[in-house]
Amino acid sequence: MRKINTLTLQQREARLAYWFVVPTFVIVFGLVIYPALYNIWISFHEVTLGNLGEGGAPFVGIKNYLRVANDFLFKDALKATIIYSFSGSILSIALGLAASLLLNRKFKGRGLVRGIFLFSYVAPVVSVAFIWKWLLNPVNGVFSWALMSSGIWSEPIAMLSQRGWAMFIVILFQGWRYFPFAMLMILARLQAIPNELYEAADIDGANIMKKFFYITIPELKYVLGTLFLLRLMWTFNKFDDIYLLTSGAAGTKVLPVLTYEFSFGMNNFGLGSATSMFLFIILGVFMIFYVKYALEW
């Protein structure tokens, strides 16, 4: 006898939905979940080039974590990461806010200006990083030549090789490169603010500063908070920008760069994995604090 399908339309659609999800789950598991779990396993073992992939790496418990925590390089990298991440995130959002306020007004050539602003975000990071290195080159860089020609500097300064200057440059690069993302998000919210609020403020005699602080900022607070969280998480994990500009020299060695040096410089993947776990824990604590408290302020 022919088997009768007793499944309802809703049940068949639910089963089909699960089949559609399976390929995505397999990809996410293979590219995200499994590497993350394997990274945790490596952090508790002494994994080097000699035993990588053999599965016979000796178990060392929390020895890798203790070595990383007691290493002076970790303390310096943690301090540099905090300074770089918070300063770069705040700068990128501040520049994005200024750019979005400008583009929210109608003026001739606004589309062209918007395209120019997006250049730093869509351009390949390798290209823009090497352009910045050329501009800041103390021997034949445009920036050094302009300052020396104008009499501001008496001798060339290798800013990417000096403490203080190097951190300032990588923070400036971070703000310049990623402000277009904040600009687009803030601009979308600005265009959704009712004009009636500003018209009522005009009737009450409010000036531009009062309208900014009492209307614009309150309307943007959730967007700004979300942007800060996203940029902070992305910047904490950022490796390529600093590595291309300074390779972690002159006080710019952040935790992702230190993870790379432990793993591929010292060929100790256990230390590198432990460092990345510290990075994960720090981000997790911050996310919990942000979700629990910051959104209620």
Please give the structure tokens belonging to residue 268.
């100790």
Q: Mind listing the pLDDT tens digit for each residue in 192-221?
A: 888 888 888 888 888 888 888 888 888 888
The pLDDT of residue 1 is 46
Per-residue confidence at 186, pLDDT binned at 50, 70, 90?
A: very high
Torsion of CA 137, 252, 171, 92, to 10 degrees: 140
Answer for the pair 242, 170: CB distance below 8 angstroms, yes or no: yes
225-237 per-position pLDDT tens digit: 888 888 888 898 8
Report yes or no on 3 lying in a domain: no
Residue 199 lies in a domain: yes
Give the DSSP letter of residue 268. Answer: B
CATH number at residue 187: 1.10.3720.10
Number of domains in the chain: 1
Helix, strand, or coil (residue 165): helix
> What confidence score (pLDDT) does residue 253 get?
92
**Sign (positive or negative) of CA dihedral 250, 251, 257, 260:** positive
pLDDT digits (tens, 9 = 90+) for 44-66: 888 887 776 656 778 888 888 99
Look at residue 254 in the predicted model and tell me its pLDDT: 92
**Nearest Cα to Cα of residue 125 among 240, 295, 38:** 240
Q: What's the distance, CA 157 to chain centroid? A: 28
Is residue 144 domain-resident?
yes
In a domain, 11, yes or no: no
pLDDT at 285: 81
Digit-coded pLDDT (tens) for 101-125: 998 888 888 888 888 888 888 889 8
- Whether 35 maps to a domain, the answer reads no
Q: What mean pLDDT is predicted for residues 174-196?
A: 91
pLDDT digits (tens, 9 = 90+) for 29-43: 888 888 888 888 888
First-residue to last-residue Cα distance in the chain? 67
- 203 within some domain: yes
Judge whether 26 lies within some domain.
no
Q: Domain of 156? A: 68-296
Burial of 143 (0-12, 13-18, 19+ CB in 10 A): middle
Mean pLDDT, residues 256-283 taken together = 88
Does 61 reside within a domain?
no
| pLDDT above 60: residue 189 | yes
Burial of 216 (0-12, 13-18, 19+ CB in 10 A): buried
Q: Encode pLDDT of 68-109 as tens digits.
A: 888 888 999 999 999 999 999 999 999 999 999 998 888 888
